[in-house]
Each structure stands twice: as C-alpha cells, then as structure tokens.
Amino acid sequence: MTSNGPLRDPANRVSPKAVRLWLLESLIAFVFFAGISLLLSRWAGGWSWVPAWFARDPWLLPAAVVVATLPFLAAEPFVRYAVHRWELSGDVVYARSGFLTREWVFVPVSRIQTVDKGQGWFERMLGLATLEIRTASHAGSSTIKGLDYRVAAGLAEELAHRAEQLRDDAT
C-alpha cells in the first residue's frame, strides 16, 4: 500500500468493522458540510454583496462542496483501513495510522505509563474500541483506533502486565 522504505508493515490490521465506523464518521461529516453549505446558499441569495451570477444560482455552493468533499470522504474509510495497522513484538508497540498525513509510532513497553481503552457511541455499537497507550511524552504516545473490543481488551491487559514487569523509571 505505502512504501515504507526499510520499515515493514505492522503485522495486524484493525478490525474490518472499523471501515463501517469510518464510513459512519464520513457520512456525518458529509451531512454536516452539505447541510451548512445548503443553509448558506439559502441565505446568500438575499445578501447584497454576492456576485449576481451566484445570487442567480445559489445551488452552485452546495454542489461545489459536495464535489470537493465527496471523493475524500468516500475514500477515507478504505484508505484508513489499508493504512491503520499495529503490532506488538520485542516489547515495542509499532502502529501506523493516518489518511492524508501518515504517522508511524514506536512505543517501547518499558516506557508505558498508562494503557486506556475507550469506546465512543458508534464504537460501542460496532463492538470496537480505541486503545490509548500513554508515555511521559505526547510524542511518544500512541492511539490505536478501530480495534475489535476483545482484541483491545486483551492487548491492554497484556501491555499493562508487561509494562509492570519492565517498569523503567528513566522516563
């Protein structure tokens, strides 16, 4: 999918159900953008300073917004599913994420301070969870979205257990 150069892909994909989660989020974003632009075009017809050609055809604004955002919003869930991957080996968490901006994060288990798993509304609906692995630094912390709930719970358990064994106070 993406060229990582000398880095290999993390071993595990997130849950396939994550695509549905991201589709849902895309849909909400789409409704939001389309709704706002529709409302704006309704009002804009009455404003005096808009150009005449726009006042005549105010539907151009929502049309432009839809054309501009739809490909991105439609592609995002599938691109994300291809990009988002994670792996735990050698006591290091290696995770990749992102859509337009990609991120690769390496967090050694010995430096982990807290492991949280959280579930939003939609995630609970789909049986997904987000794993937040925190170290003393925000740049060295990782968030893995779209994990199957049982996978997330197991991973959180394992990480917390290992982190306790390896506790390294150097921060």
Partner 1 sequence: MGPGPGPGPFPGPAVRVPQRLSPKVLLIDPVRMLPSLLLPLVGVLFVGGFSARSYGYAAAGVIGAVVFAIIRWATFTYEIVGDRLETKRSLISRSVRTIPLERIRGVDVSTPPMHRLLGLTILKIDTGASGGEEEAKLAGVTPEEAERLKAVLLRRTAEPVPHAPGEAAPAAGPRERPIIAVPRRWLLYGPLSGAYLLTPFAFAGGLVGLAFQWGDELGFSRDTAWNAGEWLWEHPYLLLALAVLLVVAMPFAGGLMYAIFNWDFTLKRRDGYLVAERGLINRRSVSLESQRVRGYEIVDGLAERWAGVTRVWAIVTGLGDSETRGQLLPDVPRDVAFQVTGDAIGPYRGELRPHPPVARRRRLFRAVFPWLLTALLAAVAAALTGAVLWWVLLVLLLAMAGIGVPLGLDRYASLGHGYDGVRLSVRSGSLRRAQAVVERRAVVGWRLRQTWFQRQAGVLTLIAGVGAGKGGYSAIDVSLPQAVGFPTEVTPEWLTPFLEHDKP
Residue 51 touching partner 1 (CB under 8 A): no
Binding residue (CB under 8 A) for partner 1 from 21, 142, 152, 156: 142
Residue 18 beta carbon to partner 1: minimum distance, rounded to whole angstroms: 21
Q: State how far the Cα of 18 lies from the Cα of 22, in Å rounded to an integer.
A: 6
Burial class (CB in 10 A: 0-12, 13-18, 19+), 80: buried
Q: State how far the Cα of 74 lies from the Cα of 100, in Å rounded to an integer.
A: 13
Residue 145 touching partner 1 (CB under 8 A): no
Binding residue (CB under 8 A) for partner 1 from 28, 60, 136, 166: 136
Residue 80 beta carbon to partner 1: minimum distance, rounded to whole angstroms: 14
Residue 163 touching partner 1 (CB under 8 A): no
Within 10-49, which residues bind partner 1 (CB under 8 A)?
10
Beta strands 102-108; 128-134: pairing state: unpaired
Residue 78 touching partner 1 (CB under 8 A): no
Residue 115 beta carbon to partner 1: minimum distance, rounded to whole angstroms: 14
Nearer to partner 1, 25 or 91 (CB): 91
Decide: 132 and 120 in contact? Cβ < 8 Å: no
Residue 91 beta carbon to partner 1: minimum distance, rounded to whole angstroms: 9
Q: Cα angle vertex 160, ends 158, 162, to 5°?
A: 65
**Could you tell me the two tokens for 12?**
């595990």
Nearer to partner 1, 41 or 97 (CB): 97
Residue whose entry in the numeric block shows the structure tokens 């549905």: 20
Binding residue (CB under 8 A) for partner 1 from 7, 27, 39, 74: 7
Q: Which of 133, 129, 131, 86 is nearest to 108 (CA)?
A: 133
**Could you tell me the two tokens for 20?**
């549905």
Binding site for partner 1 (CB under 8 A): 4-8, 10, 87, 89-90, 92, 94, 98, 100-108, 111, 135-142, 170-171
